[in-house]
């Protein structure tokens, strides 16, 4: 199938590689000339220096997939595509845009007869080999047009054992590794919650292994002090444990390479999806305590919050006489 592809970063480039390997004809654009030309040479894509040339080269009705940073860049590219594309074309935003922005953009493009599909894309740098989990929002007509692309990018039904309740039955929605979640915005909404859950899972693992690391500290009574092999614990949990997962696999690999993990920063970044998930929880009046705590833990990792912690120490000292003065005091 012929399609345009804009954005050739860590995920976008590998998505084009997976599509090209399966026989899809990809017309690509990236702001980085070296990147787009190298990919064209590697997998035989047709490279364009500007979006206008790419769109002009595609036969109508067109399909154009975006994998560009959320926010201003996505807005700029979609605005340009809205001026270049024509009625019946399908534009897919495969980045992590806010679902409310996706709804608004779909409405603007729909007025011109252009379909916009919002696609939450999960798989990271491993997607080339494993495939990508795709969560889509948009009109049935638009989704129907791009099924060959989705079937190529997604892992497929054999990527996981079938759920016992579905065994022997027809293929259910989602089992192919992609899902039409509903109307415009729903794909990015589902991906947003996916990333919020990811925050919680990662934080729980991090706290658990931090407890293992501190089990041998002097503050622990000697009878209950343990010198634990964190890498070995990760390995045993990978086999038959209820917490076994791909995230644990990645953690086990990191610990096996360096048990102290001291090559990594203690400051943990957050992306917009974690914050948006908590905003949605507030709007929907739905509790999301673990997800909120995981987000705030990332904030805490980046802020020493010296004044706040000193204020707490001062209060403890003032009301209870607790020893809270610093060594400099």
Q: In the numeric block, which tokens belong to residue 316? A: 């403890």
Q: What is the pLDDT of residue 314?
A: 76
Q: Are residues 48 and 168 in the same domain?
A: yes
Q: Are residues 285 and 159 in the same domain?
A: no
For the stretch 280-314, pLDDT in tens is: 999 999 999 999 999 999 998 887 766 777 777 77
Residue 327: inside a domain = no
235 in catalytic set? no
Domain limits for position 6: 2-184
H helix or E strand, kind and range, residue 133: strand 133-137
Task: Average pLDDT across each block of 10 residues of the chain; the chain has 329 residues. List them in order.
Answer: 96 97 97 94 95 97 97 96 98 97 98 98 92 98 98 96 95 97 98 96 95 96 97 97 95 94 90 94 98 94 76 75 61
Q: What is the pLDDT of residue 309?
A: 74
198 in catalytic set? yes
Q: What is the pLDDT of residue 302?
A: 85
Helix residue spans in the chain (DSSP H): 10-21, 33-43, 51-57, 72-84, 99-110, 127-130, 140-145, 147-153, 186-214, 230-237, 246-257, 272-283, 289-302, 306-320
CATH number at residue 273: 1.10.1040.10
Q: What is the pLDDT of residue 76?
A: 97
Q: Could you say which of 37, 75, 80, 198 is catalytic?
A: 198
Residue 215: inside a domain = yes
Contact between 26 and 34 under an 8 Å Cβ cutoff? The reply is no
Query: Tokens 């897919």 appear where?
Result: 92
DSSP labels, 72-121? HHHHHHHHHHHHH--TT-EEEE-S---HHHHHHHHHHHHTTT-EEEEEEE
Q: What is the pLDDT of residue 304?
A: 74
Q: What is the pLDDT of residue 30?
A: 95
Q: Are residues 79 and 180 in the same domain?
A: yes
CATH number at residue 37: 3.40.50.720
Give φ, ψ of 177 to 5 degrees: 100, 0
pTM of the model: 0.92
How many domains does the structure of the chain reveal?
2
Q: What is the pLDDT of residue 275?
A: 96
Contact between 95 and 119 under an 8 Å Cβ cutoff? The reply is no
Q: In the numeric block, which tokens belong to residue 321? A: 């006489």
Q: What is the pLDDT of residue 327?
A: 56
Residue 328: inside a domain = no
Q: Could you say which of 191, 222, 235, 267 is catalytic?
A: 191
135-171 core/surface letters (b: 16 or more CB in 10 A; e: else): bbbbbeebbebbeebbebbbbeeeeeeeeeeeeeeee
């Amino acid at each position: 199938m012929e399609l345009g592809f804009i954005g050739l970063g860590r995920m976008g480039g590998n998505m084009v590689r997976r599509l090209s390997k399966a026989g899809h004809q990809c017309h690509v654009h990236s702001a980085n000339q070296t990147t787009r030309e190298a990919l064209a040479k590697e997998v035989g894509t047709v490279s364009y220096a500007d979006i206008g040339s790419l769109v002009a080269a595609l036969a109508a009705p067109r399909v154009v997939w975006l994998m560009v940073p959320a926010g201003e860049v996505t807005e700029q590219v979609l605005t340009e595509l809205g001026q270049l594309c024509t009625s019946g074309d399908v534009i897919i935003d495969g980045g992590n845009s806010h679902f409310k922005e996706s709804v608004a953009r779909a409405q603007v493009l729909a007025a011109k007869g252009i379909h916009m599909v919002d696609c939450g894309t999960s798989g990271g740098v491993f997607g080339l080999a494993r495939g990508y989990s795709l969560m889509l929002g948009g009109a049935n007509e638009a989704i129907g047009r791009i099924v060959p692309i989705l079937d190529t990018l997604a892992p497929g039904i054999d990527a996981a054992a079938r759920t016992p309740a579905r065994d022997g039955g027809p293929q259910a929605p989602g089992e192919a590794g992609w899902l039409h979640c509903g109307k415009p915005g729903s794909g990015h909404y589902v991906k947003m919650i996916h990333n919020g859950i990811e925050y919680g899972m990662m934080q729980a693992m991090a706290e658990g292994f931090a407890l293992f690391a501190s089990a041998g500290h002097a503050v622990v009574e000697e009878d209950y002090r343990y010198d634990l092999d964190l890498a070995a614990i990760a390995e045993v949990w990978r086999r038959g444990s209820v917490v076994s997962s791909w995230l644990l696999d990645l953690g086990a690999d990191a610990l096996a390479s360096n048990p102290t993990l001291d090559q990594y920063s203690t400051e943990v970044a957050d992306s917009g999806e974690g914050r948006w998930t908590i905003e949605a929880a507030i709007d929907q009046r739905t509790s999301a305590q673990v997800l909120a705590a995981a987000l705030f833990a990332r904030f805490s990792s980046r802020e020493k919050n010296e004044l706040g912690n000193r204020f707490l120490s001062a209060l403890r000292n003032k009301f209870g006489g607790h020893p809270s003065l610093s060594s400099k005091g």
